[in-house]
Structure 1
Amino acid sequence: MESKAKIKRDLILKSATEFVIEHDFNALTLDAVAKHAGISKGGLLYHFPNKEALFLGLAEHIIEDFMQRFNEFAQQDTFEQGKYTRALIDASICDLNENGELNIGLYAASALNPVLAESISNSYQDAQNKIEQDGIDPITATIIRLAMDGLYYSELFNIAPIDDELRKGVIDRLVDMTK
C-alpha cells in the first residue's frame, strides 16, 4: 500500500506534467503546479522545496514512465531475439504520441543542469545496455535506437518531418531489422 506522502508526490508530478503539456515550461511555477494539483503551496514545498527539485522530480517521473513502458513491451514480446530493441521502438512511439514535447523541454533544461543531465543519461543507458545484449548485432540495435531518436526530434522540432505513410514504413523497416 502506498503512503499518503507517495500518493501526494505522485499527484504533484502528474499535475506538473499536465500543466507543462497544457502550457509550457516557461509558465511552470510552484504556485501554478500547487493550484493545478489542488493543494497548498506548503504541501507542494514539503515534497519539492524549490523549482529545481520539482524539475528533477518531473524528469525522474518521466524517465521512470518511459522505462516502465520499455520493460513492459519487452516482457510482452514472445520472440526473444531483438525484443528490447522492438520495445524501445514501441516505447518511443508511445512517448512521441503522448508527451514528447515535455521530454524535449526536460532535455533542453538538462543542458543547464548537470544533475538533471546525469539523471537522464544514466536512465537511458540502461535501455542502451539492454539493446546491445539483445541477441541481434549491437551496431544494428544502436542504429535503430539512433534512427528512433532522429524520428523523435524531427517530428518534435518540425525538422523536415515525414508523412504518416513514410513514418509507418520507416518504423516497419526498423522492426524488421530486429528479427
Structure 2
Amino acid sequence: MANDGRSRILKAAKSLAESHDSVHGVTISLESVAKKAGLTKPGLMYHFPTKEALMLGLVDHAAENWAQRLRNHTGHSSQDLTSFERHRAYVTVATTAEVSRADYWIFSDALYHPTLSRAWSEHLGPWFDTTGLDGRVVSLLTAARFCADGAWMSEATGVFPSDDLAAVCRHALALIDAAEGMSDDIETEGIG
C-alpha cells in the first residue's frame, strides 16, 4: 500500500511538470503535488518528508523507468549483455520511446543539482559501461549514444525534432556496428 502512495505521488509530480507552461522552468511544491495526488500535505510527507526527498524520488523513478525500458527491450539485465548490445538497446529505446517535456526536465534538472544525477548514474551507468574497450571503439559508442540522447531530448522538448527518427536510429546503430567491427579487428591484431 505504501508503494501505491509513492507511485501516485510521483505520477502527480511528473504530471505537474508536464503541464507546466512557464518559460521560467518548472516549480513543484509539496502542496501542489499533494493536491494533484489527492492527498494532504502530511500524507505526502509520510512518503517524502522534504521537497528534496520528493525530487530525489522523482529522478530515481525516472531513471529506473529508463533502465526498465532497456531491460524490457533486451529481456536481460545490463551485466548479461556486451557493451555493444547495451548501446544498441539504448539507441533503439531512446529513438522509439514515448517521451515528454517532463522526462527532459527531470533529466536536465540533474545538471544543476549534483545529488539528483546520482540516480541516473546508478540506473543507466551500467548500460553505458565501456570498460576494457579501446578508446577508438568507445568514441564510436559515445557518438551513437549522443545521437540517441539528442533524438529523445529533441522529441521530448519539441525543439528541432527529427522528421525521420528511424533513420537516426539506423545511423546510430551503424556507428555501434562499426565500433564492434573495430573491436574485433583490434582483438585480431592483438592476437596475431
TM-score between the two structures when normalised by the length of structure 2? 0.72
Q: Deviations over 1:14-48 (max 9, x none)?
A: 22112211226634221111111111111101111
For this pair of structures, how many residues does the alignment match?
A: 166
Structure 2 gap ranges (5+):
178-192
Change (3 A) 1:13 1:156: closer
* 1:59 Cα deviation after fit: 0.2
Matches within 5 A, 1:47-86: 47-75=47-75, 82-86=84-88
Please say if residues 88 and 145 of structure 1, whose CA atoms lie closer than 8 Å, have aligned partners that are also in contact. yes
8 A Cα contact 1:70 1:90, kept in partner = no
The answer to whether the aligner puts 1:21 opposite 2:13 as a matched pair is no
Partner of 2:91: 89
Q: Unmatched 5+ residue regions in structure 1?
A: none
The residue that corresponds to 1:127 in the other structure is: 127
Mapped partners of 1:16, 1:152: distance in 2: 21
Output the CA distance in 2 between the equivalents of 1:105 and 1:65. Answer: 15
Identity over aligned pairs, percent: 28
The structure whose Rg is larger is 2
RMSD: 2.7
Give the letter for the 2:38 counterpart. G
- 1:123 and 1:23 map into 2 onto residues whose CA distance is 27
Structure 1 segments (4+ residues) deviating >6 Å = 130-133
Instruction: Return the TM-score normalized by structure 1.
Output: 0.76
